[in-house]
């Protein structure tokens, strides 16, 4: 185990304490979630770099919206089966 000492503004520390966010368990969950999000963001950026290098043209927002709607519709029809 590692012991950490951090400095926070008083208001932030008091609000975090009141919300139960300064316990070792809560801090562990918060940090692990932040690490997962960072890893996911890095993976997306890596994919974006590969798409750019492959010369795949960018999609317009209308095309992205249409793809999202189609995926949701397909997922909805799968859930009804």
Please write the tens of the pLDDT for every residue from 28-74. 999 999 999 999 999 989 888 888 889 888 889 999 999 999 999 99
Element (H, E) at 73: helix 61-79
Q: Which of 7-11, 13-17, 21-25, 74-78 has the lowest mean pLDDT?
A: 74-78
Contact by Cβ (8 Å): 35, 41: no
pTM above 0.75, yes or no: no
Cα(39)–Cα(12) distance, integer angstroms? 26
Task: Quote the radius of gyration of the chain (alpha carbons, Å).
Answer: 21
| Among 10, 41, 39, 4, residue whose Cα is nearest residue 23 | 4
Local structure of 53: helix, strand or coil: helix
């Amino acid at each position: 185990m590692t012991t950490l000492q951090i400095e926070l503004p008083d208001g932030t520390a008091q609000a975090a304490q009141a919300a139960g966010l300064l316990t070792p368990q809560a801090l562990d969950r918060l940090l692990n979630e932040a690490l997962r999000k960072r890893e996911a963001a890095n993976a997306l950026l890596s994919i974006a770099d590969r798409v750019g290098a492959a010369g795949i043209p960018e999609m317009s927002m209308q095309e992205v919206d249409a793809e999202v709607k189609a995926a949701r519709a397909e997922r909805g029809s799968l859930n009804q089966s």
